Chains A and B, each alone.
Chain A
Amino acid sequence: MSTAVDHKEKTFITDLLEFQKDQAPVDGYLEEFKANAIKRLQDIPLPTTRDEEWKYTNLRSLYRENFVPYFKVDENADAEALTSYLLPESEKSRIVFINGKYSETYSSIEELPEGTLLSSIENAINENPELIKQELGKYTRLENDPFIPLNTAFMENGIFLHIPKETKVDHPIHILSLSTVAEEQFLTTPRVLIVAEPYSKFTVIEDYVGTGNNVYFNSPVTEVKLKEGAKMLHVRSQRESRNAYHISRVGVGLDKYSNYESYSIHLGSKLSRSDIWASLDDEQIDCTLDGLVLINGSQHSDTHTMIDHKKPHCTSHQLHKCIIDDKANSVFNGKIYVHKDAQKTDSFQENRNLLLSDKGTVDTKPQLEIYADDVKCSHGATVGQFEDDEVFYLKSRGLDDETTTRLLSYGFALEIIKQIPVASLQEQLSDAVAKFTQNSEEEVPDLA
Chain B
Amino acid sequence: MLNIKNLHANVEGNKILKGIDLEVNAGEIHAIMGPNGSGKSTLAKVIAGHPAYEVIEGEVIFEGQNILEMDPEDRARLGLFLAFQYPVEIPGVTNSTFLRQAYNTIQEAQGKEDLDPLEFDDYVREKLKLVDMDPEFLKRSVNAGFSGGEKKRNEILQMAVLNPKMSILDETDSGLDIDALREVADGINKIADDEKGIIVVTHYQRLLNYIVPDFVHVMVKGRILKSGDKDLALELEERGYDWVTEELHVNGEAK
A352 and B86 alpha carbons, distance in the complex (Å): 23
Q: Is the CB of B72 within 8 A of A448?
A: no
Given A396-B76, A399-B73, A448-B101 contact (CB < 8 Å): no
Cβ-based interface call for B56 (8 A): no
Q: Which of A7-15, A77-85, A355-363, A406-414 is the contact stretch? A: A406-414
Closest B residue to A393 using CB positions: B88
Task: List, in ascending order, chain B residues with CB within 8 A of A399's CB.
Answer: 73, 101-102, 105
A410 and B101 alpha carbons, distance in the complex (Å): 14
What count of chain A residues pass the 8 Å CB interface test?
28
Closest A residue to B51 using CB positions: A388
In the assembled complex, the CB of A429 is this many whole angstroms from the nearest CB of chain B, namely 12
Indicate with 1 or 0, residue by residue over A380-400, a CB within 8 angstroms of chain B CB atoms. Answer: 000000011110111111111
In the assembled complex, the CB of B201 is this many whole angstroms from the nearest CB of chain A, namely 15
A390 and B75 alpha carbons, distance in the complex (Å): 17
Q: Is the CB of B49 within 8 A of A411?
A: no
Candidates A387, A392, A403, A445; contact of B105 at CB < 8 Å: A403
In the assembled complex, the CB of B138 is this many whole angstroms from the nearest CB of chain A, namely 9
Task: List, in ascending order, chain B residues with CB within 8 A of A396's CB.
Answer: 48-49, 72-73, 75-76, 81-82, 84
What count of chain B residues pass the 8 Å CB interface test?
36
Cβ-based interface call for B15 (8 A): no
Given A398-B102, A403-B105, A448-B76 contact (CB < 8 Å): no
Closest A residue to B81 using CB positions: A396
Q: Is the CB of B77 within 8 A of A398?
A: yes
Cβ-based interface call for B20 (8 A): no
Given A395-B71, A399-B102, A403-B105, A410-B82 contact (CB < 8 Å): no
Cβ-based interface call for A341 (8 A): no
Q: Is the CB of B94 within 8 A of A393?
A: no
Q: Which of B139-147, B178-186, B189-197, B217-225 is the contact stretch? A: B139-147
Q: Is the CB of B109 within 8 A of A398?
A: yes
Candidates A389, A392, A400, A410; contact of B92 at CB < 8 Å: A410
Closest A residue to B83 using CB positions: A396
Task: Give chain A's interface secondary structure class.
Answer: helix
Task: List, in ascending order, chain A residues with CB within 8 A of B82's CB.
Answer: 396
Candidates B84, B90, B139; contact of A411 at CB < 8 Å: B90
Task: List, in ascending order, chain B residues with CB within 8 A of A446's CB.
Answer: 94, 96-97, 139
Task: List, in ascending order, chain B residues with CB within 8 A of A394's CB.
Answer: 90
Q: Is the CB of B105 within 8 A of A400?
A: yes
Q: Is the CB of A448 within 8 A of B140?
A: yes
A447 and B92 alpha carbons, distance in the complex (Å): 7
In the assembled complex, the CB of A351 is this many whole angstroms from the nearest CB of chain B, namely 18
Indicate with 1 or 0, residue by residue over B6-29, a CB within 8 angstroms of chain A CB atoms. Answer: 000000000000000000000000
Cβ-based interface call for B200 (8 A): no
A388 and B12 alpha carbons, distance in the complex (Å): 14
Cβ-based interface call for A443 (8 A): yes
Q: Is the CB of A448 within 8 A of B73?
A: no
Q: Is the CB of B93 within 8 A of A411?
A: yes
Q: Is the CB of B93 within 8 A of A448?
A: yes
Q: Is the CB of B51 within 8 A of A410?
A: no
Cβ-based interface call for A418 (8 A): yes
Q: Is the CB of A403 within 8 A of B76?
A: no
Indicate with 1 or 0, residue by residue over B26-67, a CB within 8 angstroms of chain A CB atoms. Answer: 000000000000000000000011111000000000000000
In the assembled complex, the CB of A436 is this many whole angstroms from the nearest CB of chain B, namely 13
Task: List, in ascending order, chain A residues with CB within 8 A of B106's CB.
Answer: 397-398
Cβ-based interface call for A415 (8 A): yes
Task: List, in ascending order, chain B residues with CB within 8 A of A408's CB.
Answer: 90, 93
Cβ-based interface call for B98 (8 A): yes
Task: List, in ascending order, chain A residues with CB within 8 A of B139's CB.
Answer: 446, 448
A152 and B81 alpha carbons, distance in the complex (Å): 63
Task: List, in ascending order, chain B residues with CB within 8 A of A443's CB.
Answer: 101
Interface centre among A388, A392, A412, A448 (most CB of B within 10 A): A448
In the assembled complex, the CB of B71 is this many whole angstroms from the nearest CB of chain A, namely 7
16 CB < 8 A contacts A-B: A395-B76, A397-B98, A397-B162, A398-B73, A398-B77, A398-B105, A398-B106, A398-B162, A399-B73, A403-B105, A407-B90, A408-B93, A411-B141, A414-B92, A445-B97, A445-B98
Using A396-B76, A398-B73, A448-B141 as known contacts, list a sample of 17 further A-B pairs with CB atoms less than 8 Å apart, ordered by residue number in A: A389-B88, A390-B90, A392-B50, A395-B71, A396-B73, A396-B84, A397-B158, A400-B73, A410-B93, A411-B91, A414-B92, A418-B92, A445-B94, A445-B97, A446-B96, A446-B97, A448-B93
Rank and list the top 5 A-B pairs by shortest CB-CB distance, nearest first: A414-B92, A411-B92, A448-B141, A398-B76, A397-B102
Residue numbers of B with Cβ under 8 A of A are 48-52, 71-73, 75-77, 81-82, 84, 86-88, 90-94, 96-98, 101-102, 105-106, 109, 139-141, 144, 158, 162
